Structures are given as structure tokens and as C-alpha cells.
Amino acid sequence: MKAIRVHQFGGPEVLRYEEAPLPEPGKGEARVKIEAIGLNYIDIYHRTGLYPLKTPFTLGMEGAGVVDAVAADVTDAKKGDRVAYAMEQGAYAEYAIAPAWKLAPVPQSIDSRTAAATMLQGMTAHYLTHDTYPLKKGETALIHAAAGGVGLLLTQVAKRLGATVFGTVSTEEKARLAREAGADQVILYTQTDFSAEVKRLTNGRGVHVVYDSVGQSTFEKSLDCLRSRGYLALFGQSSGPVPPFNLGTLAGDREQLLRRASDLFNWIASGQLKLKIDRTFRLAEAAEAHRLLEGRKTTGKVILTP
């Protein structure tokens, strides 16, 4: 059979269209005669070695076609079934192996090209909006790369759930596509600071969730777009991996601090909350206090006094 194989990491020139052995399904597996293959950014990560795989390997994480053979123990699929799958290596080929449990039946009303275009990006949009951060009616979401494959689906699913969607794009044409998908506000990040614009659009409150597939170039400003206790779902790094960042940027503001402290002091003053101060040491005795703390000889709170 023919397949696209990668023998060394690099640019598109490392992709080789060559003969490869016909794979045989092992325990729990099925072989699919591929009719359509989904192209995804993760394929580039694999090709360049950002997500390294042992070479040589067959590229591709998404395919659709007809089951050609199954292992003896397989009950989830049978020969002749129309199926699609994602997140299983080896789809850039005429035949591919996948665990049978990963094969989704494809209805007759859906052609193989559509099925292959749905699985990875569609399932990503689904888990992001239903599980990672389950969007609810009336909430706000910022979607980066809103005119991309995942972005267009994310926008539509978010609107189905009743959310207000802000999308970022790079061009007017992409802005048109994002609006057609249902985005309420589209921000051209090449012309406008998206963080400042999100703050303006939300009257300074920020959004409930940011869905970020871009990574390095958007991450810090994505954090700045969040309202208190908002969620940043990072699910890609098309601009590069996110560097280490200061977790202190996630701390609350003064309003939250005053509210929490006031509650605690009021509860203590009224006897609803009880503190246990185990011991009090002079500041000069800090070493002894540390020895007791490290030796697990204390309970409650230990206090030092100057």
C-alpha cells in the first residue's frame, strides 16, 4: 500500500510518499480502508518533532473509510462498516489500523470527506464546551483563531449553548467567516489589542472562558481577558509552546481580599468560626518554632511575635 512516511523531522520536504507494508489488526484492533484523511495542526507538530514520535512513522491522526478486517476478539466493529476515527496515528495511508473502540459509525447521510473533517476538530469543540468548561446560557467566551477549523465549530457550538462569543482573527475575510458562524463580536488582533477590546466589551469584567489554540503569542493576554475564577483552556500551540509563567498573576484582586477577610473576621467575632493558636514564640525563637513545625509537633496555628 502507499503511505506518507516521515524518516526525519523537518519541513514539508521530509514527507515521503512510498510503499509501506499492509498492516494487520492485532488484539482489539480493526483495519480501515481509508477513503478520506483529516489534516490537522498536530500533524505539523509530529512532522517537525515538536511532538516527537519514533521514526520512521506514518503521519495522520484522523481518517474515515470502511472496515476491511478485524481481530478475532473485536465486537465493536465488523467488516464493511463505515467508520471514522481520530487521535490514532497512521491515517496518511491507503489502509490504517485503529483500536475498534475508537471507531465511530458513520451514518449513510454523511459522506467520508465530511466524516474525516468532523472527528478531531469536532470532538475537540465538543469536549471544550461540554467538559473542559461547560458553557452555559448567558456566559461569555473568547475564541482565538475563530475562523480556523476548530474555531468555526467552537463558535457554532458555543452559540447553540446560548453563550456570547468574542472571536479573534487576522483578516477581514476571516472575520466574515467568524461572523457567519455566529460570533457576536470579532476582533482583528492585527489591528486591535484583543485584551483591551475584551475588557471594553465586558465593561472590565472579562470573559468566563478563553479557548486558546494559539499558545505562546496569546497566552498571557488570554489570562488577562478572564474574569475572576475564569477558565483558560489551552488546547494548542500554533505560535509555539507556552513558556513558564508567574502563577501570582492568577491571584485575586483587592475587592475579593476585603470581602473574604471581612467574612472571616465577622465569623470569628461572632463565635461562628474558631481559631486554634497552638503556640506563640518570640521572633528570636524562630528556629525552635521551625523545628517543631517540621517535626509535626504542632497543631492549629503557630505565631511569632517580635
Percent of the chain with pLDDT over 90: 66
Q: In sequence order, what are the residues at sequence separation of 6 or more whose Cβ sits closer than 8 angstroms to the Cβ of residue 68?
A: 30, 31, 32, 33, 79, 95
- Tell me how far CA of residue 143 lies from CA of 7, 43, 75, 199, 221, in angstroms: 36, 22, 39, 15, 13
**What's the pLDDT score for residue 285?**
87
Q: Which amino acid is at 187?
A: I
Exposed/middle/buried for 100, CB within 10 Å: 0-12, 13-18, 19+? buried
Q: In order of start, what are the domains of the chain with their CATH numbers? A: 2-117 (3.90.180.10), 133-253 (3.40.50.720), 255-305 (no CATH)
Estimate the crossing angle of helix 149-160 against helix 112-127, to 10 degrees.
60
Does 248 have pLDDT greater than 70? no
Alpha-carbon gap, residue 289 to 283, rounded angstroms: 9
SS3 276: coil
pLDDT (tens digit, 9 = 90+) per residue, 212-246? 998 888 888 999 999 988 999 999 888 888 877 76
Backbone φ and ψ of 181, nearest 5°:
-75, -10
pTM of structure:
0.77
pLDDT (tens digit, 9 = 90+) per residue, 264-287? 778 878 888 787 888 888 988 888
**What's the pLDDT score for residue 3?**
95
Alpha-carbon gap, residue 266 to 260, rounded angstroms: 10
